[in-house]
């Protein structure tokens, strides 16, 4: 037997301890909640802890509260360090240092000119930050953080001299973090790429191991259930995340981009075979023994892809061994569908070979990354919506005498998204994270009053906040809230800091929801339209296969069908969206969702049968 049977328990190798986290991720993704355990970035967190510890220690030692601006500037600079090629990251971080310092000064000084000047200054600076940052390559995080600096600066109105000191403190803290990130402690450029690629391989492994674990029993998707087609959905989401990450590195080192593009092509090809195999398990289309043989071969192919992602000569050696074993497996198969799936596995691994789409082909030198890409058509509308939301919240904060109004306006900035569903999800996560973090901070401040202990805890929270920033937004906000509350308590002690943050985040989140509902509302297509689009996309996929279209056309149709199916399934679980449109979850809708996945399975089976009949291009 070319491929050995895996152990009885599927936790081995491709399903380590993180299997439970990925199981949670599959359930949360169905409700538009991002949960990416593979993106835990410990090294970035440790570096942030060093960046925060230095200015915080200095501020506490010399008893100068204004140095709090240096502390938060250092933290925000680390938070601004979004995945991109190194050259582009340096340019974007440098822009944040300079613009953030200017905003810290201008916002504070202008807010001191009149009683309501902070409302006007904050709204205007938020508008400019969001609008102009939309023209920066990968500048969404830059715009959000500059808008955060704007509302916080407007909340600390000072005369010219003190505002200038505030701006200098910001630049000092941000410059220290910039130097730490780019010169003193640079991290591996392709780390986010590799984590995204590894996540995709892990999700493909989860899908495969579940098929193997079935034995001769019935497939879970033989009947409709609330997590129907969870693995196909999880793989498609992970695939699009890797594709988006590759796009972010489009101007980076060409060998890096080529390797991960090869990994993406290999994963897409292998995923197509898995869809066919999944359909075969559901409908018992091939001998059970052969289905399990091919499923075990998928695991070995995934291990080879994982080795190629890691790099090094061992990966190439494993790739060659796996290709040889796949050739042996083909000779033992009698079913044409299983033969076609095995050929697809060979094609997937050939993505890394010189004759395939791999990195051995000479690639043109990457173009020099451009920081400025030009303003987008929707940037003006998004900036206006942010500015209006900030102004309304600031006015409400003044009217109702909220203790820390900039926390409410900050919530508007970070919660408000382009569409209602995304804003609703983000607001729930923000409020929940603030409540949990605020209550935890209250307990810590009650139990611990020693400054050194609080300093150590604050530095630890800065580590966890950055390490978890792409893990899950709620978890991120929990530690962010604890960090801000404890640092504020150390530098500027006041009554009710934690409770004020909880209330202010609730106010800001509600305002963000109202803004997205009232100002150029975007609720997206109704469920019935999404289902119709999904059915049509899957029909096009099936027709492309039956019509003997070229492989590139079939692959594009498969991707479009997968995206449309995911969109319809997520919309089906969006109870609030259906409530607003008065769309009940009908039996016809569930039937249509099953039909989509069924058509995709039929198309995948037909494609791999076609592959088995065609001459081997290898």
Say how many CA atoms lie within 13 Å of 550 toward its Cβ: 2
CA proximity to 538, closest of 275, 257, 220: 275
- Per-residue DSSP letter, 2: -
Q: Do 184 and 198 have their domain in common?
A: no
Q: Do 345 and 210 have their domain in common?
A: yes
Q: Do 320 and 175 have their domain in common?
A: no
| pLDDT per position as a tens digit, 100-129 | 999 999 999 999 998 889 899 999 999 999
Report if residue 154 sits inside a domain: yes
Which pTM was predicted? 0.91
Report if residue 200 sits inside a domain: yes
Is residue 215 pLDDT above 60, yes or no? yes
Report if residue 9 sits inside a domain: no
Is 459 exposed, middle or buried (CB count within 10 Å of its CB: 0-12, 13-18, 19+)? buried
| pLDDT per position as a tens digit, 4-27 | 554 443 333 444 446 778 888 888
Tell me phi and psi for residue 176, to 5 degrees: -60, -45
Choosing from 469, 499, 518, the residue where a domain stops is 518
Domain span including residue 77: 37-188+378-518
Please say whether the beta carbons of 130 and 382 come within 8 A. yes
Report if residue 138 sits inside a domain: yes
How many domains is the chain partitioned into structurally?
3
Q: Do 387 and 500 have their domain in common?
A: yes
Report if residue 153 sits inside a domain: yes
Q: Binning pLDDT at 50, 70 and 90, where does residue 29 land?
A: confident
Choosing from 490, 518, 546, the residue where a domain stops is 518
Q: How many angstroms separate the CA atoms of 336 and 338, rounded?
A: 5
Tell me phi and psi for residue 524, to 5 degrees: 75, 170
| pLDDT per position as a tens digit, 332-355 | 999 999 999 999 999 999 988 654
Q: Do 346 and 298 have their domain in common?
A: yes
Report if residue 365 sits inside a domain: no
Report if residue 371 sits inside a domain: no
| pLDDT per position as a tens digit, 447-504 | 988 899 999 999 999 999 999 999 999 999 999 999 999 999 998 887 677 788 888 8
Q: Do 322 and 436 have their domain in common?
A: no
Contacts with 529 (C-beta within 8 Å, 6 or more apart), sequence order: none
Choosing from 478, 499, 518, the residue where a domain stops is 518
Q: Cβ–Cβ contacts within 10 Å for residue 509, how many? A: 26
Report if residue 1 sits inside a domain: no
| pLDDT per position as a tens digit, 551-580 | 999 999 999 999 999 999 998 887 766 666
Q: Do 196 and 179 have their domain in common?
A: no
């Amino acid at each position: 037997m070319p491929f050995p049977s895996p152990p009885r328990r599927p936790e081995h190798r491709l399903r380590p301890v993180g299997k439970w986290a990925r199981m949670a991720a599959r359930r949360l993704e169905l409700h538009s909640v991002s949960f990416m355990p593979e993106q835990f970035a410990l090294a970035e967190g440790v570096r942030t802890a060093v960046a925060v510890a230095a200015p915080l220690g200095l501020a506490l030692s010399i008893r100068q509260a204004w140095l709090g601006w240096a502390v938060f500037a250092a933290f925000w600079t680390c938070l601004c360090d979004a995945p991109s090629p190194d050259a582009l990251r340096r340019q974007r971080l440098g822009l944040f240092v300079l613009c953030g310092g200017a905003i810290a000064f201008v916002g504070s000084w202008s807010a001191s000119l009149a009683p309501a000047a902070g409302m006007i200054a904050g709204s205007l600076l938020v508008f400019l930050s969001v609008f102009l940052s939309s023209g920066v390559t990968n500048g969404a995080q830059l715009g959000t953080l500059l808008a955060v600096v704007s509302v916080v600066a407007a909340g600390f109105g000072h005369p010219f001299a003190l505002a200038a000191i505030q701006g200098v403190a910001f630049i000092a803290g941000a410059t220290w973090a910039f130097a730490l990130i780019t010169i003193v402690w640079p991290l591996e450029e392709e780390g986010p790429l590799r984590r995204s690629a590894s996540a995709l391989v892990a999700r493909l492994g989860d899908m495969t191991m579940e098929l193997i674990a079935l034995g001769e029993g019935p497939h879970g998707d033989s009947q409709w259930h609330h997590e129907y087609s969870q693995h196909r959905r999880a793989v498609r989401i992970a695939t699009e995340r890797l594709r988006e990450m590759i796009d972010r590195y489009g101007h980076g080192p060409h060998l890096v981009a080529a390797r991960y593009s090869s990994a993406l092509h290999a994963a897409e090809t292998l995923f197509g075979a898995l869809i066919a195999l999944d359909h075969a398990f559901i409908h018992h289309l091939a001998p059970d023994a052969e289905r399990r043989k091919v499923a075990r071969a998928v695991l070995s192919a995934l291990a080879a892809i994982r080795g190629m992602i890691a790099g090094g000569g061992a990966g190439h050696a494993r790739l060659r061994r796996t290709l040889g074993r796949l050739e042996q497996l083909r000779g033992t198969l009698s079913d044409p569908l299983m033969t076609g799936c095995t050929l697809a596995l060979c094609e997937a691994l050939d993505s890394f070979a010189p004759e395939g789409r791999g990195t051995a082909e000479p690639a043109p030198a990457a173009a020099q990354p451009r920081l400025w890409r030009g303003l987008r058509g929707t940037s003006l509308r998004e900036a206006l919506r942010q500015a209006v939301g900030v102004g309304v919240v600031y006015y409400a904060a003044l009217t109702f005498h909220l203790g820390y109004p900039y926390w409410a306006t900050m919530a508007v900035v970070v919660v408000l998204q382009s569409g209602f569903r995304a804003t609703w999800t983000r607001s729930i996560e923000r409020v929940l994270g603030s409540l949990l973090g605020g209550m935890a901070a209250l307990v810590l401040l009650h139990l611990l009053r020693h400054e050194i202990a609080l300093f150590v805890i604050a530095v630890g929270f800065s580590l966890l906040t950055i390490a978890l920033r792409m893990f899950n937004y709620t978890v991120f906000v929990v530690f962010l809230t604890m960090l801000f509350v404890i640092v504020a308590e150390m530098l500027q002690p006041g009554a009710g800091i934690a409770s004020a943050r909880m209330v202010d985040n609730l106010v800001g989140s509600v305002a963000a929801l109202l803004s997205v509902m009232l100002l150029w509302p975007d609720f997206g297509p109704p469920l019935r339209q999404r289902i119709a689009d999904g059915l049509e996309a899957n029909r096009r996929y099936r027709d492309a296969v039956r019509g003997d279209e070229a492989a590139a056309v079939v692959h594009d149709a498969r991707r479009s069908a997968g995206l449309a199916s995911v969109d319809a399934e997520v919309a089906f679980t969006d109870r609030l969206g259906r409530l607003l449109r008065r769309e009940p979850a009908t039996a016809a809708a569930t039937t249509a969702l099953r039909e989509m996945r069924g058509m995709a399975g039929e198309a995948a089976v037909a494609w791999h049968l076609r592959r088995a009949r065609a001459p081997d291009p290898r």
